[in-house]
Structures are given as C-alpha cells and as structure tokens.
Structure 1
Amino acid sequence: MFDTFIKNWNRKKLKNLNFDFLFDEPIDNEYVCLDCETSGLNPKKDEILSIGAVHIKENKILMRKTFNIFLKPSKNINAESIKIHHIRPVDLENGQDPKEAIFQLLEFIGSRPIVGYYIKFDVAIISKYTKEFIGIKLPNETIEVSSMYYKTRKKSSDYQFIDLKFDTILKNLNIPALGKHDALNDAIMTSMMFLKLKDLTPAKTTFYTN
C-alpha cells in the first residue's frame, strides 16, 4: 500500500506526460539490464559518459534489443578517471546530448524492472538527469545481482566473508569475461549472471531493492 502511495506521488510530479508509461505495470518476465560508465563515483557531481543496456525476456538475453550510447559531458574528463573507465575524449566527440540520450534510454527501459551490479549507483546517477528533465527519479524496481549471488553462497557462519567482486561472481558462475569497462559488455555479462542466479535461487526469494 505504501509503495502504491509513493508510486502515485511520483507520478503526479512527472513534468512530461510522454513518459507516463514508466509507471505502467511491467510485463511478466521482462527485464532490462544496464550499466553506466561515469566520470566518477559521486552521483551528485559526476556525469554519465556511456550507457549500455539489453532486454531480457523470460530466460533469454535479446541481443537484437541492445542499447549502447555515449553522452557528451559538460566538461573535460580528467586523466585519472580515464584510467578507470578507459573512455577517451575522442570517444565522446560525437556523444549525444544528455537529454536526448536519457529520453532514448527511458523509451528502451519502459516500465521493466532494472537488473544490475551495484545498480543503486546507476539508478542514482540516471535519476539526477531524469529529475532535471522530467521531474522525477527513475521509478522502476531494481534487482541487485550481487544480493542474489550472496544468497546462493553456503556459509559456515553468519560472519563468513563472501567475495562479491564482479570478477569473482563471473568466475564462480563460469561466465565468460567480455571486454571490461564497456557499458554494453558489462550489461551483457550481468544479464548472464542474473539468469544463472535466477535458476540457483529459491523462487520465493525476492530481489527488488526499491
């Protein structure tokens, strides 16, 4: 009931009714997995440099339904951040206007739940843009693959450390590593994690994080 209240409250704050579809009931067994490469790790001050996303339907990754886009930043990216995301200024020369890129992303996502690895960060930084452009934060439910993975690990005690690094999860699930620091590749690898973990996890467990 409280979730419905929050959803309706957010819906009233929507400034662009063309995006009212974000509040539709999601289609069963359809998801979007996404990943953002950013200029830093602070959603309030850093910017999105690229977004990769892919549709998942039932137990299939729909490779014909992918989204891959570069955004033009408002300022030059620094050399230290390039070492992390490997996106060079030349890669962003033909980047899209952020507003246009975010609108395209919202059309791609629709009302589907969003799957990701530490997805709260991605949603937080995307929401910075959506709040500016359409008046609301991204309202979609989210599914965190690292939480799914954690629940599948057998622990000898409640205090046992579980390694939740991306590479560790890939290796333990026998998923091939694609090129790193590429938003679309990261989204595809995360999609494979999700599908494997969905089969390994008890059906009664829910993984929505908002």
Structure 2
Amino acid sequence: MIHKLIHQHYYRRRLKDKRYDFLYESHPDELVSFDCETTSLTVSEAQIISIGAVKIRGNRILTSDTFEILIKPDGLMQATNVTIHGLRPKDLSNGVTIEAALEQFLHFVGGRPLVGYFLEYDVAMVNKFLKPMLGIKLPQPQIEISRLFHAQETKNKYYDSYVDLTMAGMVKALDIPDLPRHDALNDAINVAMMYLALKHRKI
C-alpha cells in the first residue's frame, strides 16, 4: 500500500498539465469498465482505433452513462484486423486524434478504478500515448476480472485445475447475457456484467 502511494506521488509530481489533477481524486462508489479496439495485439506497433467505457455505481451498470469514440489511426490497417473489429478505414475517416480521444476519456474516467478483461494490454496501449502527452501513466486502481474469475474457480480445487479464461467461457460460466464482442463499448458492458456477477457469486 505504501509502495503504491509513493508510486502515485512520484507520477503526480510529473503531471505536465495540472488541469488533469482530477485523475487522482477518489470515487469510492464508482468504477469504470473499459475496452480498446486496436490495429494489432503488439503494443509497440499498435494504434488505438476505438475506446468504449461504462460506469458502474454500486451494483448497477450505468448504461445511460457510457463513453464511445472512434480514432483515426496513423498508417494503414491490416485486413485481418478489420475482420476482427469490423471497423474499416472509411469508418474511421472522421475519427478524432488519439490525443483528443484520451482527453475525453480521462474526463469520463476521472479517478475511478478501472475494470477490464486482460486489462494490462488496454492500459499499456493507453499509457503508450498518455505518457508523452501528460508525462504520467494511468494512475487509477485496476481490477482484472480474469484474475478474479480464476481465483474463484480454483478456490476449492487443485492448483493445476484447468480454467477457461476466454471471455466466451467466462460469460457462459457466469450465466450472463453475451453482447456481440470485439466492439469496444459492448465489451466494456460485458466486462461490467461479469464484474458484478463475480462480486455477488457464491463459491
């Protein structure tokens, strides 16, 4: 805990634009589930082309309080990526810059903890562009639902028990609606549903 506070203080001092100091404000009753669609799964070469997010307050998913934005990437997208997320170059032609998208995203999130599915990748993608922009990485606490699911599934089993950590497998195990995937906002809502199901699950 002390290490985290020191780390947070370190980056807060390096915040280039103090207008973003709100990122360090706490929101004890709310979280944000978010997801990125990208041009590649390799962080060093990928571009973010869409971000979707939804707020969670207590035990409710605030579907009336969502965030969704398209981003025009630098360079060309590979055809294989288009078949996954369905976003064609012409769909993104009116997209905003990554800097404008992150500015809006940060104002939506504030200091709320972030919830995600294999969240490390999405956070790494945002940090890739955020660090040059503001001099910091995302400071919010982060909750990885696949880790929560794995912990619950193996609680009363042998340590080497197989656990299906695919989103499809987790959705089925938790018996929740399955929105069409590889859409940033739908994936964010799916994650929010999984988080609440895990929160109230009895194992």
Shift of 1:201: 6.3
Aligned partner of 1:13 in structure 2 is 14
**Against the structure 1 CA distance between its residues 126 and 156, is the aligned structure 2 distance closer, same or farther, given a 3 Å change threshold?**
same
Q: Which runs of 4+ in 1 moved over 6 A?
A: none
Distance in 2, matches of 1:201 and 1:48, equals 37
1:33 aligns with: 33
- State TM-score, norm by structure 2: 0.95
- Residues 1:201 and 1:75: Cα distance change in structure 2 (over 3 Å): farther
Distance (whole Å) between structure 1 residues aligned to residue 53 and residue 131 of structure 2:
20
Other structure's SS at 2:129 match: helix
Which residue in 2 is equivalent to 1:170?
Answer: 171
Alpha-carbon distance, 1:98 to partner? 1.1
User: Any idea what SS the aligned residue of 1:107 has?
Assistant: helix
Q: Which residue is 1:207 aligned to? A: none
Tell me how large the CA RMSD over aligned residues is: 1.3
Question: What residue is the counterpart of 2:111 in the other structure?
Answer: 111
Deviations 1:66-94, CA, capped at 9 Å, x for gaps: 00000010111111211222211111011
How many percent of aligned residue pairs carry the same amino acid? 40
> What TM-score, normalized by structure 1, do the two folds share?
0.92
Using the alignment, how far apart are the partners of 1:50 and 1:12 within structure 2?
29
Aligned to 1:151: 151
Residue 194 of structure 2 is matched in structure 1 by 193
Partner amino acid, structure 1, of 2:82: I
| Aligned length, in residue pairs | 201
- For 2:24, the equivalent position in structure 1 comes to 23
Q: Distance in 2 between matches of 1:135 and 1:201?
A: 42
CA contact (8 A) 1:32 1:53 kept: yes
Separation of aligned partners in 2, 1:201 and 1:50? 35
Who is 1:205 aligned against?
none
Q: Secondary structure at the match of 1:53?
A: strand
Alignment of 1:101-140 (within 5 A): 101-140=101-140
Amino acid at match of 2:56: I
Contact 1:151 1:201 in 2 (8 A): no
Structure 1: which 5+ residue stretches go unaligned? 203-210
Contact 1:14-1:134 at 8 Å conserved across structures: yes
The corresponding residue for 1:76 is: 76
Cα distance in 2 between the residues matched to 1:156 and 1:115: 26
SS of 2:148's partner is helix
Which residue of structure 2 aligns with residue 90 of structure 1? 90
Moved more, 77-86 or 154-163: 154-163
1:29 deviates by 2.3
Name the structure 2 match of 1:179. Answer: 180
Where does structure 2 lack aligned partners over 5 or more consecutive residues? none
8 Å contact from structure 1 (residues 51, 68) kept in 2: yes
Partners in 2 of 1:139 and 1:198 — Cα distance? 23
Q: Contact conserved, 1:54 with 1:62, CA < 8 A, in 2?
A: yes
Partner SS for 2:54 = strand
Whichever residue aligns with residue 35 of structure 1, its letter is D
Show the counterpart of 1:142: 142
Distance 1:36 1:64 in 2: 20
Q: Deviations over 1:111-143 (max 9, x none)?
A: 000000000100000011110111111111100
Q: Secondary structure at the match of 1:54?
A: strand
